């Protein structure tokens, strides 16, 4: 964790790597193994292995997870299988912690550590001590938290997992930073920084430098604080990880505001805003504008506060900005206005008729003809207005289908809202153009939009061709998914085919002389797993998906290489019979354990031509 002093400080990340559990949890595995469990055909050690896998992978139902862990503990104790027994207690402790059963979690972790120590499972023993420390830290028991962090560190020093050791030392230093023990925190950060340096783990080094910068900021050493945070920012910039950079600067603004150094606080907030604007980070643009508005409000400058608050509102709304959504909103507004106008016109016409009827008592024959003409005109006007309304409704419906899936659009029209839905298996794709940010700085807004449209229009055609669902675009990033709604068959295979065709199109464009100014290298990342889908917003709404599957897909794109398609293990298992894949190994990913990754080895150009 980078920094979590008071409630308003931003959480930057969490390093909890355990060498004994490098495989990511997978609910699909748990669901398939549950059928074997219910069949009750496995005995002995095979039964223990099944329970261990179930207790680790079950993420949807904590009570089931607890049931599997308790049964694993009971059977492994009866059979004298102590490695499974220690693992059962660790899984029980982890689940109890998630359920808020603090005392039960501590008891289970202590038993896990005791058994692991007896059977010489050093990594598991150290992990148990680290888990105990985290529980104490969660309950603000700083003394016991540090006691077990140090015990975990001492244990892990006996093992070869230096990444777990470095991460645990970093977490211990963070606990000291939270408790304002700045000198001690600095010592821990220096050691974890040396380990990250030996491992050449850039992300770990960056966050470690950021933590050191926070210590210096809290101890009034502004120059050293800026030096370390700027170095952290430099490393993160090389990794093109701009989001945490902007958040780092906002955290610095909060620190200096608490110290009463208003000018330093406003300077950091403005640096965050400048960076966010440079890389089109709309969330951060909105947050930075809000922070600057609050700072100017505190200084009594209402005019500047209002200016930045307006910018905050603008960019907050633009996070969900899709041109078609705005057009649809305009059509809806026009439709409502036209309905009101009809009511007003009909009321006026009714008054005219009433006046004519009063006059008709004296000159009946003349006014009967006049009324007949008036009624005819009114009916003609109503028919024309009704036709206009129907045409506007048809245009609105058509536009709605361009923004939302048909099933979602129908639900929105029917109920006025859309319920979020969970899908067990969805394949998510992310693309990103290498070097696009530097290129875009040299273009006019019109040329920039034209360039993005050139590529994304073709991507839309490819995605539709393969029966996939475009989700959204963010800057030069493109996101789509397969397996939503009733379109679930072979979504992983179809996504790979679409990715190959997208990569081939980009490669062919580079050879087009007329498009030499529009050429880039593209990185593609794909992952498969459960997601939640729904519509956000009430006016300027958009269809989106969320979940760890989406986050991992984004990381697959970040860890990919130009011109290549990088897929996670879940996707690989679904497509390995259809495509030749190159195993890249288990690669460390920020904020999570290492993930198995694969490159698709299909000849992209030949595949494109054959299509």
591: in domain: yes
pLDDT digits (tens, 9 = 90+) for 176-210: 988 899 999 999 999 999 998 898 888 888 888 98
What sign does the CA torsion over 430, 409, 318, 330 have?
Answer: positive
13: in domain: no
Least confident of 366-375, 403-412, 448-457, 494-503: 403-412
Q: What is the CATH number of the domain that holds 555?
A: 3.30.70.1230
Least confident of 168-182, 217-231, 402-416, 475-489: 402-416
- pLDDT for res 438: 77
Q: Which residues of 76-111 are buried (b: 16+ CB within 10 A; e: fewer)?
A: beeeebebbbbbbbbbbbbbbbeeebeebbbebbbb
Q: What is the CATH number of the domain that holds 248?
A: 1.25.40.10
Q: Are residue 518 and residue 590 in the same domain, yes or no? A: yes
* Res 383 pLDDT > 80: no
* Res 274 pLDDT > 80: yes
What sign does the CA torsion over 356, 362, 365, 366 have?
Answer: negative
Least confident of 236-240, 379-383, 493-497, 521-525: 379-383
More confident residue, 486 or 159: 159
Cα 594 from Cα 294, distance rounded (Å): 40
> Residue 515: which pLDDT band, with cuts at 50, 70 and 90?
low
* Res 214 pLDDT > 70: yes
The number of domains in the chain is 5
17: in domain: no
DSSP 80: T
Q: Are residue 476 and residue 368 in the same domain, yes or no? A: no
Least confident of 312-321, 327-336, 548-557: 327-336
Residue 577's domain comprises 418-610
Q: Are residue 140 and residue 236 in the same domain, yes or no? A: no
- pLDDT for res 465: 93
CB 526 within 8 A of CB 428: yes
Residues sharing a CB contact under 8 Å with residue 123, sequence separation 6 or more, in sequence order: 18, 19, 20, 156, 159, 161, 164
Q: Are residue 132 and residue 73 in the same domain, yes or no? A: yes
11: in domain: no
Cα 223 from Cα 213, distance rounded (Å): 9
Q: Are residue 539 and residue 469 in the same domain, yes or no? A: yes
Q: Are residue 247 and residue 222 in the same domain, yes or no? A: no
410: in domain: no
Q: Are residue 561 and residue 472 in the same domain, yes or no? A: yes
- pLDDT for res 479: 95
- pLDDT for res 345: 57
Q: Are residue 536 and residue 463 in the same domain, yes or no? A: yes
What is the rounded average pLDDT for all residues in the chain? 80
- pLDDT for res 14: 33
Mean predicted confidence (pLDDT) in 72-100: 90
**SS3 label, residue 540:** coil
What sign does the CA torsion over 141, 147, 150, 152 have?
Answer: negative
Q: Are residue 428 and residue 394 in the same domain, yes or no? A: no
Tokens of 456: 């994304």
More confident residue, 420 or 11: 420
CB 295 within 8 A of CB 269: yes
Q: Are residue 147 and residue 106 in the same domain, yes or no? A: yes
- pLDDT for res 3: 36
Q: Are residue 273 and residue 262 in the same domain, yes or no? A: yes
The pLDDT > 90 percentage for the chain reads: 32
Mean predicted confidence (pLDDT) in 114-125: 91
Question: What's the 3-state SS for 425-478?
Answer: EEEEEEEEEECHHHHHCCCCHHHHHHHHHHHHHHHHHHHHHCCCEEEEEECCEE
> Residue 583: which pLDDT band, with cuts at 50, 70 and 90?
very high
- pLDDT for res 444: 79
211: in domain: yes
493: in domain: yes
Residues sharing a CB contact under 8 Å with residue 522, sequence separation 6 or more, in sequence order: 431, 432, 433, 434, 502, 503, 506, 562, 563
* Res 553 pLDDT > 90: yes
Least confident of 72-86, 236-250, 311-325, 509-523: 311-325
Q: Are residue 574 and residue 594 in the same domain, yes or no? A: yes
Q: Which of 353, 378, 403 is the last residue of a domain?
A: 403
* Res 480 pLDDT > 90: yes
- pLDDT for res 110: 94
Mean predicted confidence (pLDDT) in 156-177: 86
- φ, ψ for residue 595, nearest 5 deg: -125, 135
> Residue 607: which pLDDT band, with cuts at 50, 70 and 90?
very low
> Residue 532: which pLDDT band, with cuts at 50, 70 and 90?
very high
Does the predicted model carry a pTM greater than 0.85? no
The torsion defined by the Cα of 559, 564, 570 and 573, in degrees rounded to 10, comes to -150
* Res 408 pLDDT > 60: yes
Q: Which residues of 546-576 are buried (b: 16+ CB within 10 A; e: fewer)?
A: ebbbbebbbbbbbbbeebbbbbbbbbbebbe
* Res 363 pLDDT > 50: yes
Cα 132 from Cα 90, distance rounded (Å): 10
More confident residue, 393 or 28: 28
Residues sharing a CB contact under 8 Å with residue 365, sequence separation 6 or more, in sequence order: none
pLDDT digits (tens, 9 = 90+) for 276-292: 888 777 778 888 899 89
> Residue 112: which pLDDT band, with cuts at 50, 70 and 90?
very high
Q: Which of 215, 240, 265 is the last residue of a domain?
A: 240
4: in domain: no
Q: Which of 124, 159, 194 is the last residue of a domain?
A: 159
> Residue 406: which pLDDT band, with cuts at 50, 70 and 90?
low
- pLDDT for res 23: 38
CB 3 within 8 A of CB 214: yes
């Amino acid at each position: 964790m980078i920094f979590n002093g008071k409630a308003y400080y931003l959480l930057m990340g969490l390093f909890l790597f355990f060498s004994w559990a490098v495989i990511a949890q997978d609910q699909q595995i748990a669901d398939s193994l549950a059928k074997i469990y219910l069949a009750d055909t496995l005995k002995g050690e095979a039964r223990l292995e099944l329970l261990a896998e179930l207790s680790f992978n079950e993420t949807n139902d904590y009570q089931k997870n607890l049931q599997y862990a308790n049964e694993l503990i009971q059977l492994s104790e009866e059979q004298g299988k102590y490695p499974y027994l220690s693992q059962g207690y660790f899984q029980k402790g982890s689940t109890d912690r998630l359920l808020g059963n603090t005392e039960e979690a501590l008891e289970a972790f202590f038993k896990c550590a005791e058994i692991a120590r007896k059977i010489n499972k050093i990594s598991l023993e150290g992990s148990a001590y680290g888990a105990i420390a985290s529980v104490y830290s969660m309950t603000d028991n700083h003394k016991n938290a540090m006691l077990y962090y140090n015990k975990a560190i001492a244990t892990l020093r006996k093992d070869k997992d230096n990444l777990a050791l470095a991460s645990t030392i970093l977490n211990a230093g963070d606990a000291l930073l939270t408790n304002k023990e700045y000198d001690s925190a600095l010592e821990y950060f220096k050691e974890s920084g040396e380990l990250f340096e030996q491992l050449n783990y850039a992300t770990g080094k960056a966050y470690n430098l950021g933590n050191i910068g926070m210590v210096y900021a809290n101890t009034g050493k502004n120059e050293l604080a800026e030096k370390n945070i700027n170095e952290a920012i430099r490393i993160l910039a090389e990794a093109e990880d701009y989001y945490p950079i902007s958040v780092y600067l906002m955290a610095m603004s909060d620190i200096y505001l608490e110290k009463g150094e208003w000018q330093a606080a406003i300077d950091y907030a403005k640096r965050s805003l400048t960076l966010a604007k440079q890389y089109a980070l709309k969330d951060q643009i909105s947050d930075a504008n809000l922070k600057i508005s609050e700072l100017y409000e505190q200084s009594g400058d209402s005019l500047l506060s209002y200016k930045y608050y307006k910018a905050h509102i603008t960019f907050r709304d633009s996070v969900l900005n899709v041109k078609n959504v705005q057009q649809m909103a305009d059509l809806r507004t026009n439709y409502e206005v036209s309905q009101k106008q009809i009511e007003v016109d009909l009321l006026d016409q009714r008054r005219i008729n009433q006046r004519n009827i009063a006059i008709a008592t004296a000159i009946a024959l003349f006014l009967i003809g006049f009324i007949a003409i008036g009624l005819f005109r009114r009916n003609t006007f109503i028919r024309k207005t009704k036709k206009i309304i129907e045409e506007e409704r048809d245009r609105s419906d058509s536009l709605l289908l361009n923004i939302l899936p048909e099933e979602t659009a129908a639900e929105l029209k029917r109920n006025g809202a859309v319920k979020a839905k969970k899908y067990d298996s969805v394949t998510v794709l992310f693309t990103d153009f290498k070097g696009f940010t530097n290129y875009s700085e040299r273009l006019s807004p019109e040329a920039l939009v034209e360039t993005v449209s050139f590529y994304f229009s073709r991507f839309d055609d490819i995605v539709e061709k393969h029966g996939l669902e475009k989700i959204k675009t963010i800057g030069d990033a493109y996101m789509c998914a397969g397996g939503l709604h009733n379109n679930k068959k072979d979504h992983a295979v179809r996504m790979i085919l679409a990715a190959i065709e997208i990569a081939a199109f980009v490669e062919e464009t580079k050879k087009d002389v007329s498009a030499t100014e529009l050429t880039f290298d593209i990185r593609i990342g794909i992952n498969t797993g459960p997601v939640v889908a729904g519509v956000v917003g009430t006016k300027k709404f958009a269809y989106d998906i969320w979940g760890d599957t989406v986050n991992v897909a984004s990381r697959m794109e970040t860890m990919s290489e130009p011109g290549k398609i990088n897929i996670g293990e879940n996707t690989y298992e679904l497509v390995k019979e259809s495509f030749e894949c190159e195993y890249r190994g288990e690669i460390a990913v920020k904020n999570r354990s290492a993930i198995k990754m694969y490159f698709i080895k299909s000849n992209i150009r030949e595949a494109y031509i054959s299509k």
